Amino acid sequence: MTPEEFIERIKEKFEVDAHISENKMPHPRKRVWINVDRAKFKDLMKFIKEIDPHAQFSIIIGEDRGDYLSAEYHLELFYEQEPSLSVIVATACPKDDPKIPSLGDVFPSSVPYERENKEFLGIEFEGIPDPRRLFLPDDFPEGIYPLRLDDKGIKPEMVKNAGHPYKIKKEGSK
């Protein structure tokens, strides 16, 4: 299936913003980018899984975008054919209601990445089968998210010297 055919199939069923980009180097390939409202996000992902039952989930890139939080799910479709189809599905949620449906039942391998984004950005993945912390220690303060750029992010007084020599002030130095 070509990227154009894939977008056409998606647009027949969902109202989405979709486009194709192409990187030139080092390995030229087209990528399909889809932006979807979070209310239709899970249905769209289930539909993609129907189109290719062997679709491979790769990673979630979460980001604080100022007024909202975004999550980009990277997938590889038709990987048993040449060329495979790289698809990025993005959705977003407002910071005052940071909820996105979990895809743990559609793409089980997405769960660790959802846990990571919950810890570092504060996105709540509704229905996640395993909501435990993944990276941060159990005593890390609740409601603080290291990748947030607002008042819920790390405060300067929380940052400890990570052992970088250029950050260590020697006694008596200015």
- Which letter, b or e, does each residue of 117-140 get, where b requires 16 or more Cβ atoms within 10 Å of its Cβ? bbbbbbbebeebeeeeebeeeeee
Q: What does the alpha-carbon distance between residue 132 and residue 118 come to, in Å, rounded to a whole number?
A: 10
Structural domains of the chain ordered from first start: 3-167 (3.30.460.80)
3-state SS class at 162 = coil
Bridge partners of residue 31, in order along the sequence: 21, 86
Q: What does the alpha-carbon distance between residue 115 and residue 17 come to, in Å, rounded to a whole number?
A: 27
Which is higher by pLDDT, 1 or 134? 134
Give strand ranges (E) for the chain. Answer: 17-23, 29-35, 56-64, 68-77, 85-94, 99-101, 124-126
Output the pLDDT for position 170: 52
Within 10 A of 31 (CB to CB), how many other CB atoms are there?
Answer: 15
Q: Using CA of residue 134, residue 137, residue 142, residue 147, what is the dihedral sign?
A: negative
Does the reported pTM lie above 0.75? yes
The whole-number average pLDDT for the span 102-125 is 97
Q: What is the pLDDT of residues 43-71, one digit of tens each?
A: 999 999 999 999 999 999 999 999 999 99
